[in-house]
Structure 1
Amino acid sequence: MSDFTPLRSVLYMPSSNAKALEKAKTLPVDAVIFDLEDAVAPDAKPAAREAAAAAVSSGEYGRRTLTIRVNGLGTEWHDDDLAAAAQAGPAGVVVPKVNSADEVRGLVAALEKAGAPDHTKLWAMVETPQAIFDVRELAAASDRLAVLVMGTNDLVKELYAEHVPGRAPLLTSLSLSLLAARAAGIAIVDGVYNDVKDTDGFLAECRQGREMGFDGKTLIHPGQIEGANEAFAPSERAVEDARGILQAWEDGKGSGVVTYNGKMVENLHVESAQRTLAIHDAVRALED
């Protein structure tokens, strides 16, 4: 995992807001989504498109992962958004409401036709019942698809469900999407938490997402960054245990049975420990 990129905190920023774009340069966030969709009024979309492309090309955001969320397939802005994003060359182009493997392949073809560089990947938002039913095929449809982004607000709307603590109405959708991402070997980030004043609820949802296996969480406010960064990074105890497991494994070569703190150590524990340390090292490098 030497090329691991942390995605603990992924912040939506409206590309029509110059102050927000400037502020993003100073925030301790892993990734920024320069938004051209929900956060931008229709008459502001052309100017926002230019601002997002300029931000990506500016070189002023340090090691943050930069992406652009375009307007969805079938909207009047989609084709121009996709072409501008491809030419700007961000780390990812985020597309809302991607419903099928065929749509993934069509989006990839459009990016390539528009001249997107090899490092510009597709980030597909999973936010409809159709996408959930087809998520395994969707996630594996192209090597250029790098991240699934959960659109939990739209999923709640489409299911006629409610936002409740613990997210019981969404657990099936979240779990199926996680399974699909892991089977395809790609990253997946959790949906947003809407109440920016409810810190306890936000942190509880971060813990739930981390325990389920998400790589990070999409955010709607800078005040949520610190909590997400902490929740989705290995704790000091986890790092200490990972180092201990690897040392015990090295020390116990040839002995048949290896233990650490009284627990048996097998290959799967070693692989998990190596992943923990790779994430820890990548986070440290980003923060430094």
Structure 2
Amino acid sequence: MFEAKGLSRTFGDKVAVRDVSFSVPDGRMTGFVGGNGAGKTTTMRMIMGVLEPSAGEALWNRQPITAANRRSIGYMPEERGLYPKQPLIDQLVYLAQLRGVKASVARTRGLELLDRFGLAGRSKDKLEALSLGNQQRVQIAASVITDPSALILDEPFSGLDPQAVDSMVDLLREFTARGVPVLFSSHQLDLVERLCDGLVILARGEVVAEGRADDLRRRGRIRHRLVLDTDAGWLRDVAASLGINVVDIDGPVAVLELPSEPERSAAAADAVLRRAMERGRVREFHELVPQLADIYREVA
């Protein structure tokens, strides 16, 4: 498990990150979400020791993180850190050796990873001969070749085709199944929503939301969609007495906000249904679960 605890970073008069705190538990995949300039990359660099925090600290198993801890973390920076004129397998072996892996073990792992990403036949090619998407695959292989105890990945899915995305997803799930904590940033909110157990949302250098995805979706008032056989305009006249807020009505279709407290929400839902059924047929009545994009827009 690793944590950020009150991490802040200034560049001159500019505050890039302010008092950022969150944790990534063992075996959990956590999505790090925010717009350009929100502070995601700066925060990752501070955790990895690439940047010195202006305040705060990074923790590993609730203790200050050390250089030895960081050597066990697989880190993938947003900017590619590979050698364009060196053969793929040679630089994978070299990078693994820097982390203490024997050359023979690194070569075996490197070839397995290249094969997994569809690059087995190109292990002796120079990096510059590959497309940007394939270079990204090699960068991913470099971050996991040491069999890391944690993963911090900055935009790992950028430039990958759907097949490579699927391979990457399978790989990350194998790590979390072994109890490895994974933190990755991405602008592809659909992927984050599909993969992540937890979310950390940054805006203007600060954490504006953190928690399990399901919990974040259900914060605040709950929206439902009601579809009737007849016009739903009557709801505006009785909304307050039923404990609901009418968000929108379009003919027979109404979007309603129910109270956030479970008991009050259930009572309001029952009351709406009773009134609606007294007036005719109810075709639909179901909860509208917010998408991650909706949560992000709301908090950021």
TM over 0.5: no
Higher strand share: 2
Higher helix share: 1
TM-score (norm 1): 0.33
Larger Rg: 2
TM-score (norm 2): 0.32
The structure with higher relative contact order (CA 8 Å, sep 6+) is 2
